[in-house]
């Protein structure tokens, strides 16, 4: 079997797992052009194909194959074809009752749900939803996203992929949306109908081709091209030079490969941007061939050209949706494990943020009144935390908070299989929890804007309030039930997260990414440990591409006092405190996809 793994551009280095109807699997990796080939010897159809993006940029993608019969019109013995793209992921989601393609690895699910009839029906429904986009790009209702001819060159089927996004739905599963109107989404499941037809984008796929050429020339050393590609008023997260804010795409040997538009905005949405703008991923490959992207804002100038303007945020302030699985391991709290979701606000105390920043207020959709953040008392973490204190005005005196969370929760619900009870966070309602779990109907839409205001230790406002966009799709805690979560190993839990666990300068953490014994779960990109004893808290992080000693099982070391940027904050060294009476310790498995921050957290309270 062969095919192409693509997200508009080819996805090289994708980890592919092919699961058959008996539970056997085979694995391979896509080449730099997204192609893959794999032997099906010993496997029994139907098949589920899962592609994980090693960069963590994209959610896992799925495809299916119902038979080992050669494609129509192909010679005898020709390879089976199964492309893996957002469109094949949408078809796979339509085969399940809840829109979660990972359900297909359950025992007996492939044989029951993946048949020629169900795949044909799902494809027909998807093509009806995409009818205007297919027509715009020279395709018709017979289009086959799984086995049809496909080249990731931003024309034909690939142009359709460039025009849509497949993201988590608010209450779980997946949905598909046109970038022309992010307010209209079609949930994907066996219940998907053709009632909604998605609109095509207002601009052709290649509308930024001139800008990409100019930007490539600029980053290659042609200074004259920079004036056309990068606006004189460029500003992004407090940085006024594109090459400084985006060192990856600006590095020697990098090649710009394309661009994906995420959303369009009318003039005046962002400060200093009077014309229409678009949030984009500018894609590139490094000198070593590794794919990546730079997220930025481009604007349409009065002469019809486009340039890079940046999001115009004066400080390093990032707001994104988060989804957390909160597992308590101690006997007292284990029945109260829960899912939580809302906004993550990542605001470090380091430059380019002002050194006199002592507190921050955040207002906007989904936030109850005003949420307040302060510097942490903990070491090993430079991010501000939401405060448990009830504040009606900026605090004075330069106080630090014992809070240890950058999450504002607007939705929470119990993990039913672990007891079904719920901790009602009455003491923190209105501080880092909303006043009550938000209803799906009242959930903020994607690309909402938030107002973030900085204050010094006297309570005086610093600069002007900042307009910050959440570019990731909002969700309710119900999405946690349909999310594939990595699992902390029993050995790590029993040694690092157990009563009396000793003080340690570092912790070894092992976890797995199995779903029904198949290694198809998300790839963790960062680990965090938080350890509290009395008034002392020590945190630590470990980041990178973690190696796997066995398929689907990973191990990494987290050092106490190392912050989220890899900087040791303790001098002299500070160990994680012992898990003694009155203390608590947690281990967080972190990753992101489609801008959403995911956190599988395990905690022991002694």
State the pLDDT at residue 544.
Answer: 81
Query: How high is the pLDDT of residue 430?
Result: 63
| pLDDT tens column, 309-340 | 999 999 999 999 999 999 999 999 888 899 99
Give the H/E segment covering residue 159.
helix 157-162
Cα–Cα distance for residue pair 152/530, rounded to 1 Å: 43
CB 417 within 8 A of CB 339: no
Q: How far is CA 373 from CA 309, 314, 528, in A?
A: 29, 18, 20
- 594: which residues sit within 8 A by CB, 6+ positions away? 58, 59, 165, 167, 168, 472, 473
Report the mean per-residue pLDDT for the chain.
93
- Rounded mean pLDDT of 73-101? 91
Helix (H, G, I), strand (E, B) or coil at 4: strand
Give the pLDDT of residue 285. 87
| DSSP string for 285-352 | E-TT--EEEEEEEEEE-TTS-EEE-----SS--EEEEEEEEEEE-STTTGGG-EEEEEEEEE-BSSTT
Q: How far apart are CA 65 and CA 115, in angstroms?
A: 9
Number of neighbours of residue 210 by Cβ within 10 angstroms:
13
Distance CA 85, CA 16 (A): 12
> What's the maximum distance between 2 C-alpha atoms anywhere in the chain?
79
Q: Per-residue DSSP letters for 403-459?
A: ----EEEEEEEE-GGGT------GGGBTTTB-SSPPPGGGPPPTT-EEEEEEE-TTS
Full-prediction pTM beyond 0.85? yes
Which are the contacts of 15, defined by CB distance < 8 A and separation ≥ 6? 27, 29, 51, 52, 54, 523
How far does Cα 69 stand from its chain's mean position? Answer: 36
Cα 531 from Cα 560, distance rounded (Å): 9
Distance, CA of 167 to CA of 175 (rounded, Å) = 6
Residue 521 vs residue 231, higher pLDDT: 231
Give CA–CA dist 163/119, Å, rounded: 23
| Per-residue pLDDT band at 57 (split at 50, 70, 90) | confident
Show the tokens assigned to 407: 């999450």
Using DSSP, state whether 133 is helix, strand or coil: helix
For residue 411, pLDDT over 90 is answered with: yes
Is 549's pLDDT higher than 70?
A: no
**Residue 426 pLDDT:** 62
pLDDT of residue 423: 64
Alpha-carbon gap, residue 384 to 373, rounded angstroms: 6
Element (H, E) at 261: strand 255-265
User: Tokens 């730099």 sit at which residue?
Assistant: 32
What gap in Å lies between CA 234 and CA 379, rounded to an integer? Answer: 34
Give residue 71's pLDDT band: very low, low, confident or very high (50, 70, 90). Answer: low
Q: Parallel, antiparallel, or unpaired for β 536-543 and 318-328?
A: unpaired
Q: Are 234 and 308 in contact (CB under 8 A)?
A: yes
Gap between the terminal Cα atoms of the chain? 53
- d(Cα 382, Cα 400) in Å, to the nearest integer? 12
Kindly state the average pLDDT of the residues 484-491.
95
C-alpha pair distances (Å), 167 with each of 447, 471, 486, 495: 13, 12, 19, 37
Runs of H (alpha helix) within 429-552: 490-496
H or E element in which residue 28 lies: strand 25-29
Q: How many whole angstroms separate alpha carbon 246 and alpha carbon 235?
A: 12
Would you say 602 and 497 are in contact if contact means Cβ atoms under 8 Å apart? yes
Q: What is the pLDDT of residues 149-187, one digit of tens each?
A: 999 998 999 999 999 999 999 999 999 999 999 889 999
Q: How far apart (Å, rounded) are the C-alpha atoms in residues 44 and 360?
A: 57
Provide the pLDDT confidence category of residue 545 given band limits of 50, 70 and 90: confident
Q: Are 476 and 366 in contact (CB under 8 A)?
A: no
Q: In sequence order, what DSSP letters do the residues of 108-120 get, joined into one string? A: THHHHH--HHHHH
| 236 vs 389, residue with greater confidence | 236
Residues 482 and 98: beta-carbon distance below 8 Å: yes
Does residue 193 surpass a pLDDT of 60? yes
- pLDDT value, residue 418: 57
For the chain, what percent of residues have pLDDT higher than 70? 96
The string of pLDDT tens digits covering residues 362-409 is 999 999 999 999 999 999 999 999 998 889 999 999 999 999 999 999
Pairing of strands 461-469, 164-168: unpaired
């Amino acid at each position: 079997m062969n095919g192409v793994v693509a997200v508009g551009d080819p996805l090289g280095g994708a980890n592919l797992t092919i699961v058959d109807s008996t539970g056997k699997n085979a694995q391979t990796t896509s080449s730099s052009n997204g192609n893959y080939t794999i032997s099906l010897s010993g496997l029994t159809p139907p098949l589920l194909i899962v592609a994980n993006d090693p960069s963590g940029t994209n959610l896992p993608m799925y495809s299916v194959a119902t038979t080992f019969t050669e494609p129509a019109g192909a010679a005898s013995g020709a390879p089976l074809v199964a492309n893996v793209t957002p469109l094949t992921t949408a078809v796979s989601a339509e085969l399940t009752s809840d829109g979660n393609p990972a359900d297909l690895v359950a025992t007996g699910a492939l044989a029951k749900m993946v048949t020629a009839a169900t795949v044909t029906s799902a494809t027909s429904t998807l093509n009806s939803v995409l009818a205007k986009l297919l027509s715009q790009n020279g395709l018709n209702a017979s289009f086959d996203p799984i086995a049809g001819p496909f080249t990731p060159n931003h024309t034909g089927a690939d142009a359709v992929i460039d025009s849509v996004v497949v993201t988590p739905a608010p209450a779980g599963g997946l949905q598909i949306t046109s970038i022309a109107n992010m307010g209209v989404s079609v949930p994907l499941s066996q219940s998907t109908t053709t009632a909604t037809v998605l609109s095509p984008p207002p601009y052709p796929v290649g509308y930024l081709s001139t800008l990409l050429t100019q930007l490539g020339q600029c980053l290659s050393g042609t200074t004259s091209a920079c004036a056309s590609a990068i606006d004189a008023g460029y500003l992004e997260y407090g940085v006024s030079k594109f090459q400084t804010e985006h060192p990856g795409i600006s590095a020697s040997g990098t090649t710009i490969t394309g661009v994906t538009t995420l959303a369009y905005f009318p003039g005046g949405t962002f400060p200093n941007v009077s014309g229409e703008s678009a949030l984009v991923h500018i894609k590139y490959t490094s000198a070593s061939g590794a794919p990546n992207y730079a997220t930025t804002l481009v604007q349409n100038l009065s002469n019809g050209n486009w340039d890079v303007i940046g999001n115009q945020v004066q400080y390093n302030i990032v707001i994104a949706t988060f989804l957390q699985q909160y597992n308590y391991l101690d006997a007292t709290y284990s029945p109260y494990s829960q899912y939580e979701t809302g906004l993550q606000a990542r605001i470090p105390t380091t430059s380019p943020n002002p050194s006199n920043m002592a507190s921050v207020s955040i207002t906007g959709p989904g936030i109850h009144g005003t949420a307040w953040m302060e510097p942490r008392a903990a070491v090993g973490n430079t991010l501000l935390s939401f405060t448990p204190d009830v504040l009606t005005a900026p605090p004075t005196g330069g106080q630090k908070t014992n809070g240890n969370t950058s999450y504002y929760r607007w939705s929470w619900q119990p993990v039913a299989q672990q007891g079904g009870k719920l901790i009602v966070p009455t003491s923190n309602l209105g501080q880092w929890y909303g006043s009550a779990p938000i209803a799906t109907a009242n959930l903020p839409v994607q690309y909402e804007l938030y107002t973030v205001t900085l204050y010094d230790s006297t309570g005086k406002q610093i600069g002007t309030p900042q307009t910050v966009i959440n570019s990731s799709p909002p969700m309710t805690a119900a999405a946690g039930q349909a999310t594939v979560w990595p699992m902390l190993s029993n050995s790590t839990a029993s040694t690092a997260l157990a009563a009396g666990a000793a003080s340690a300068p570092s912790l070894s953490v092992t976890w797995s990414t199995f779903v029904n014994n198949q290694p198809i779960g998300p790839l963790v990109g960062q680990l965090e440990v938080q350890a509290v004893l009395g008034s002392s808290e020590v945190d630590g992080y470990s980041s990178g591409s973690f190696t796997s000693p066995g398929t689907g099982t990973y191990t990494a070391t987290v050092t106490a006092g190392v912050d989220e940027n890899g900087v040791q904050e303790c001098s002299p060294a500070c160990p994680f405190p012992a898990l003694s009476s009155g203390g608590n310790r947690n281990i967080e498995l972190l990753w992101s996809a489609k801008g959403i921050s995911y956190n599988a957290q395990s905690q022991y309270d002694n």
